Amino acid sequence: MDQEKTENEQKKEFLMSYQLAKRDVTRLEEQLAELRIGKMSPGCEIGDGLPHAHNATDLSSYAAKVDGLEREIVAARYRRICAFERVRNCIEALEDEREKLLLTYRYLRGMRWTAICEKMDYSWQHLHKIHARALKNFKTCD
């Protein structure tokens, strides 16, 4: 039983890899947006009231940070696409259509169990039985 649980946990981790990659992209995009907002509306400094020139390195440092984050976002988007394809291909290898649909809703679309119950018109208990069967039949195809 411990072996099976470990195997199921590994399968779930693989299936969740797309959602994790998707969250990474979102997190990086939010960081970039915050960086841009911070540069467009910097905090007001209270000083002597006289205008001061900003250090020229401020802009080059900002540009370097933006460029670095944009490169990370492109790489993260590529990882997300690859994760999606890997997970989708493995799900599509299942024979049972209900199992495919359930795993697609849960792990590719990121739907909650209650929404999947409504969408597939199954009780929570029945849905989890299908999920258990799907995990049993699921093979990672790396």
- Please write the tens of the pLDDT for every residue from 13-48: 999 999 999 999 999 999 988 888 877 765 544 455
Averaged pLDDT, 63-85: 92
The pLDDT value given to residue 4: 62
* Confidence grade of residue 128 (pLDDT, cut at 50, 70, 90): very high
What backbone phi and psi angles, to 5 degrees, belong to 63?
A: -60, -40
Domain membership flag for residue 54: no
- Model-level pTM? 0.76
Give the count of domains, the chain.
Answer: 1
Q: Which domain holds residue 131?
A: 2-39+62-137
Q: Do 142 and 89 contact (CB within 8 A), yes or no? A: no
Element (H, E) at 98: helix 97-103
Domain membership flag for residue 49: no
Domain membership flag for residue 51: no
Domain membership flag for residue 55: no
Domain membership flag for residue 120: yes
Domain membership flag for residue 82: yes
* pLDDT above 90 coverage of the chain, percent: 65
Domain membership flag for residue 28: yes
Domain membership flag for residue 124: yes
* Angle, helix 56-92 to helix 2-40, in steps of 10 degrees: 150
